[in-house]
Amino acid sequence: MESLSTTQRKIAKIFSFSVIGGIFGYALFFVLAWSTFEVSGIERNSLTFYFAAPNHLNSVELIGECEKPKYQWKGRDGEGVPFSSIEFGSTSSIAQISDFYETVFSKQICKSANPKTASNSKLLLDFNCKNESFVSVKVFIDTKVGCKNVTIDFVENN
Interval 133-157 mean pLDDT: 91
pLDDT for res 58: 86
Domain limits at 26? 1-35
Both 81 and 15 in a single domain? no
Both 146 and 83 in a single domain? yes
CATH number of the domain where residue 74 is located: 3.40.1000
pTM exceeding 0.95:
no
Q: Is 108 exposed, middle or buried (0-12, 13-18, 19+ CB in 10 A)?
A: middle
Mind listing the pLDDT tens digit for each residue in 52-81?
888 888 889 999 999 999 999 887 666 678
Comparing CA positions, the residue from 75, 101, 76 lying closest to residue 90 is 101
| Residues in contact with 146: Cβ distance below 8 Å, sequence separation at least 6, in sequence order | 91
- What are the distances in angstroms from CA 153 to CA 13, 39, 105? 52, 14, 12
How many structural domains comprise the chain? 2
Binning pLDDT at 50, 70 and 90, where does residue 12 land? confident
Pairwise CA distance, residues 62 & 150, whole Å: 9
Both 31 and 42 in a single domain? no
